[in-house]
Amino acid sequence: MQSNQPTSQRESIFNNEVISRFELYNSLFLTLPFYKVKDTGTLLPLFIKSCEDGVKNHQTPAKLIEDFFKKYTTNTDSKDVVDLLFRFIQYIERQVVLFDAVEDASFNKLNVSDEQSSLRALFLKANDDKTLHDKVDQLIEDFSLRLVLTAHPTQFYPGSVLAIINDLTIAIKGNDITTINQLLQQLGKTPFFNKKAPTPVDEALSLTWYLENVFYFAAANIQSNLNSLLSEYHIDPKKIIELGFWPGGDRDGNPNVHAETTLQVSKMLRQILFRCYYRDFRNLKRR
Q: What pLDDT, on a 0 to 100 scale, did the predictor assign at position 1?
A: 43
d(CA 132, CA 35): 65
Q: Residue 162 — φ and ψ, nearest 5°?
A: -60, -40
CA distances in angstroms from 10 to 3, 13, 16, 100, 183, listed in the order given: 9, 5, 10, 17, 29
Q: How many residues does the chain have?
A: 287
DSSP per position, 101-130? HHHHHTHHHH-PPPGGGSHHHHHHHHTT-H
Q: Name residue 43's beta-bridge partners.
A: none
Q: Which distant-in-sequence residues (6+ apart) come within 8 Å of 58 by Cβ?
A: none
Q: Residue 243 — φ and ψ, nearest 5°?
A: -115, 130
- Residue 34, classified by CB atoms within 10 Å of its CB into exposed (0-12), middle (13-18) or buried (19+), is middle
Residue type, 208: T
d(CA 35, CA 280): 44
d(CA 241, CA 217): 12
DSSP per position, 144-194? -EEEEE---GGGS--HHHHHHHHHHHHHHHTT-HHHHHHHHHHHHHS-SS-
pLDDT digit string (tens) for the chain, length 287 residues? 445 555 677 788 899 889 999 999 988 887 777 777 888 888 999 999 999 999 999 999 999 999 999 999 887 788 889 999 998 998 898 899 999 999 989 988 887 666 666 778 888 888 788 888 888 888 888 888 898 888 665 556 777 888 888 899 999 999 999 999 999 988 888 888 777 777 888 888 888 888 888 899 999 999 998 888 888 877 788 888 888 888 888 776 678 888 899 999 999 999 999 999 999 999 888 87
Is the Cβ–Cβ distance between 237 and 227 less than 8 Å? yes
3-state secondary structure of 34: coil
Phi-psi region of 248 (alpha: psi -120 to 50; beta: other; left: phi over 0): left
Angle between helix 177-189 and helix 78-105 axes, rounded to 10 deg: 140
d(CA 228, CA 234): 10
Domain boundaries, the chain: 1-113
